[in-house]
Structure 1
């Protein structure tokens, strides 16, 4: 009987030690900062007043650039880190929206994936917090509901040389813009800042040349929104910067 009790006690101690080792082996998550920047053909985006030339030869400026980033995923060799419960609103005129903070397990990740827009699970009215910004980004119910994925607006010089307005708006689940960027991202206590840079000129090219003289408003047009969505896969690049 004493021997049995001794064996039982030893077994419990071994299990406790194994459990303790397992807990110690789990590394604490670390904070990672994603910083968003905007440019046009390598130059920092200047809002309202500064004009640019797109691939179709349109002279244009940018007065509004608002969009969401959602469905962020860091792809690693052993596991992926997925963040699919929040849509991050970005406004090019509000630098307080340029930063995204996430907690990741230490590892080396080979690529970053995300969507420009709101992933389907969240793309329903009031599925994300009812802030003023989110309310203003709502997509009309008669056109499918949910949220605008992108608002890119401004003015351009038309064929007659006169100033005219443009508004490139994208919405609806089928136009969600999926982005995949490869880079070796080592996450540890000294993790670099992950820089996502949007080149606004890419919205007008690669793979579809978008001529504002032919199509300056996209909302409600499935074919035009698909063109913009296809171009949007190439608007971001990724780089790393030491803190």
Structure 2
């Protein structure tokens, strides 16, 4: 009789424990935002505000140059989880490297903590680029970021400007402006009818990033790469009137998508 009573008590305790376990709920961590910090380098040297119009750089064509402006557009920062779930912020940021404007940017999206493949688009792809007039801040920034309709409309991707020493040691200016490539019936600088355009934005894959509750991702631009690979850039020949030149826009796209942007430090 004592054994039966003991078994009944034991069973009641186990049943009570099981009920306690069943009543517990797992609390998922709150979703988080991710900060991005955009920094600029010339090969291994960080480009600071004081370097603009003062520091001389040597490009791959052995041309000495100084930078006076570096403004560029990034869009569609995307996080792809290990299970394939895609989180696309769908927003954009115009970074003025010299003035530090938008050097830190937080995409308007919250995601669970974990490991993600992180990417973004340099410039606007065609879907976003065709929303001409749809970005009031870009229309009014930096002397208007929009591209004239005869050149295909849309928006600039980047404006990099400065001076260089030409082959006879004269100081000349350059305007390295990237936009959607546009083809005309006659080659620039002559005016011609716009025949077609080609999307020259490109996606930058930063690789895998572990996202915690306070993550900052550094995105490094190596400005030297714009002049380097696969097309060695000769500023003596190509220093201006690049926007209406279809072939030059393709060349700049090839250089830009070949390692201009890289993942820097990730801090938690």
Normalised by the shorter chain, which TM-score bucket? 0.7 to 0.9
Identify the match of residue 219 of structure 2 among 172, 196, 208. Answer: 196
CA distance 1:222–1:25, change in 2 (3 Å):
farther
Q: 3-state SS of the aligned residue for 1:64?
A: strand
Q: Is the Cα contact below 8 Å between 1:177 and 1:230 reproduced in 2?
A: no
Checking the alignment, whether the CA contact within 8 Å between 2:209 and 2:266 is kept in structure 1 is no
Q: Distance in 2 between matches of 1:26 and 1:119?
A: 35
Looking at structure 1, the residues matched to 36 and 220 of structure 2 have their Cα atoms a distance apart, in angstroms, of 10
Unaligned runs of 5+ in 1: 1-20
Q: What is the alpha-carbon distance in structure 1 between the residues aligned to residue 179 and residue 27 of structure 2?
A: 44
Q: Which structure has the larger Rg?
A: 2
CA distance in 2 between partners of 1:240 and 1:44 (Å): 14
Contact 1:122 1:128 in 2 (8 A): no
Question: Which of 237, 248, 261 matches 1:224?
Answer: 248
Change (3 A) 1:66 1:52: same
Cα distance in 1 between the residues matched to 2:167 and 2:29 = 61
State the TM-score, normalized to the length of structure 2.
0.76
- Separation of aligned partners in 2, 1:118 and 1:50: 31
Report Cα offsets for 1:91-120 as digits up to 9, x if no partner: 112213101113332243342211111232
2:264 corresponds in structure 1 to 239
Corresponding residue pairs, total: 219
Q: Which of 25, 31, 41 lines up with 1:29 in the alignment?
A: 31
1:1-243 equivalences in 2 (<5 Å): 27-45=29-47, 46-78=51-83, 79-84=85-90, 86-102=91-107, 103-123=109-129, 124-130=131-137, 132-133=140-141, 136-172=144-180, 174-182=199-207, 184-189=208-213, 191-217=214-240, 218-233=242-257, 234-242=259-267
RMSD value, Cα: 2.1
Contact 1:34 1:194 in 2 (8 A): yes
- Distance of 1:76 and 1:216 partners within structure 2: 42
Aligned to 2:189: none
Structure 2 unmatched ranges of 5 or more:
1-24, 181-197
CA distance in 2, matches of 1:74, 1:206: 28
My pick for the range that moved more, 125-134 or 26-35, is 125-134
By how many angstroms is 1:76 displaced?
1.9
How far is 1:26 from its partner? 5.6
TM-score, normalised relative to structure 1: 0.83
